[in-house]
Amino acid sequence: MRTEPAHRLLGLPRSSFATTAGRIAELVEAGEDVVNLCQGNPDLPTPPHIVEALRQEVLDPATHRYPAFSGMLELKAAIAGWYAAHHQVQLDPESEVAILFGAKAGLVEISQCFLNPGDVCLMPDPAFPDYWAGVVLAGARMHPLPLLRENGFLPDYDALDPAVLRAARLMFLNYPNNPTSVTAPPEFYERTVEFAAEHDVIVASDFAYGALALGGPAPVSFLRAAGAKEVGVEFISLSKTFNMAGWRVGAVVGNRDVISAINLIQEHYYVSLPPFIQRAAVAALTGPQTCVHELSEVYARRRDVFVAGLRDAGWHLDVPRSIFAWLPVPGGGGSVAFADELLRKTNVAVAPGRWFGEHGEGYVRVSLLAREDRLREAVERLSTTWGKP
């Protein structure tokens, strides 16, 4: 029997994170003490009031049935209310909000909804690798938007070739950024709206880390810019905001035509999230937000421990604005080789910048999703092994 996959599957990128997770598991199984700073998987539990809300909802037999195809209006209204309260953005719950089976799913789906074979997607480089999958499945092409230190890790729209712009249909953005951890100023989003309107490009803004301020000003939503809903949408996730990663709750908000298309494709992929999870998500969004502020403070303390420790050891790195640190490779060598050597010599696992694109080379991404004592241990191992870079 022939079981050769369709060509669209053959082009999908393999996850380097999964491969490294296997190596780490083998080391741990062998008794090694590995400090895993490779993945962005929240290490703290979901706040108790949200867990209790889920428990109560599961006891209601009404939540055991199939949900509405496009999600519960109650949850959409809660998302709209959260945006109004925290970002001063007004949304129509019925037409400008779609519930996602995790934000990651929507970030793949949007390419399938709006890209045809031969179309161009403007892709940040470096970027979250899962953006690439939807483009591949759509048979479209990616054109890099280099995120360079000299530009503040923001794309330079003026550097794009006019021929590329004529074929461009979709553009991804992500601030606070994964992996560079920088935020975008309001004027950048204003320029983005102008650019997208001029070239008829849909903007897909990934705002997964937007609720975590880490002691500084709150990150700005793309939708705050005048005209943003005319040119694009924004993706949010409860995974990082409320430590609900395993619950798979996300949403996309903004342009109603984009929302309609994503609702249509999701009718065939997922139908919708279980009703008890949707109701618990309502409790998260409408309940006390103290847990979000406390979580931001935890991550800020972790960041400060890590940054101070490396700076004391003579390393140079920017202060992260999200849960990742973007660390230059000592001596400017290759990021994959450095990460492999780091794991082999010190049992500290980090993500090579090359995994995120060509322009991620020369850096490694360090996750701050570990206890302060583990971050201190990682700093001690790095500084002992490499000394002053």
For residue range 59-110, what is the model confidence (pLDDT) as tens digits?
999 999 988 888 999 999 999 999 999 999 999 999 999 999 999 999 999 9
Integer angstrom CA distances of residue 12 from 7, 135, 380: 9, 9, 38
Measured distance CA(278)–CA(97) in Å, rounded: 14
Predicted local distance difference test score (pLDDT) of residue 317: 85
pLDDT of residue 234: 98
What's the whole-number mean pLDDT along residues 273-286?
A: 96
Across the beta sheet with 120-125, the strand order is 97-100, 250-254, 232-237, 202-206, 168-174, 120-125, 141-146
pLDDT at 49 over 60: yes
Q: Whole-number mean pLDDT of the chain?
A: 93
All domains of the chain in start order, with CATH:
7-45+290-386 (3.90.1150.10), 65-286 (3.40.640.10)
For range 339-357, the mean pLDDT:
95
What residues contact 4, with CB distance under 8 A and at least 6 apart? none
pLDDT at 236 over 60: yes
pLDDT, position 286? 97
Give the count of beta carbons closer than 10 Å to the beta carbon of residue 314. 11
Q: What is the mean pLDDT of residues 362-387?
A: 91
The alpha carbon torsion through 368, 187, 81, 114 (nearest 10 deg) reads: -90
Residue 388's pLDDT band, with cuts at 50, 70 and 90, is: low
Q: Write down the pLDDT at residue 160.
A: 96
pLDDT at 290 over 90: yes
Q: Is it the case that residue 389 has pLDDT exceeding 60?
A: no
Strand partners, 367: 324
Q: Is 145 helix (H, G, I), strand (E, B) or coil?
A: strand
Confidence of residue 358 (pLDDT cuts 50, 70, 90): very high
Q: Quick one: CA dihedral 135, 322, 337, 148, positive or negative?
A: positive
**Band of residue 383 on the pLDDT scale cut at 50, 70, 90:** confident
Of 172, 115, 179, the closest CA to residue 323 belongs to 179
Cβ–Cβ under 8 Å, residues 267 and 93: no
Dist CA 351 CA 195 (whole Å): 32
Give 384's pLDDT tier (boundaries 50, 70, 90).
confident
pLDDT at 260 over 60: yes
- Give the chain's end-to-end CA distance (angstroms, integer): 56
Q: What is the pLDDT of residue 333?
A: 80
pTM of the model: 0.94
Predicted local confidence at residue 387, as pLDDT: 61
The pLDDT of residue 356 is 96
What mean pLDDT is predicted for residues 328-334? 86
Residues contacting 302, CB < 8 A, separation 6+: 368, 370, 371, 372, 375
pLDDT confidence of 40, banded at 50, 70, 90? confident
Does position 259 have pLDDT exceeding 80, yes or no?
yes
**Cα–Cα distance between 170 and 199 in angstroms, integer?**
10
Kindly indicate the confidence band of residue 385, based on its pLDDT and cuts at 50, 70 and 90: confident
Q: What percent of the chain has pLDDT over 70?
A: 99
pLDDT classification of 10: cutoffs 50, 70, 90: confident
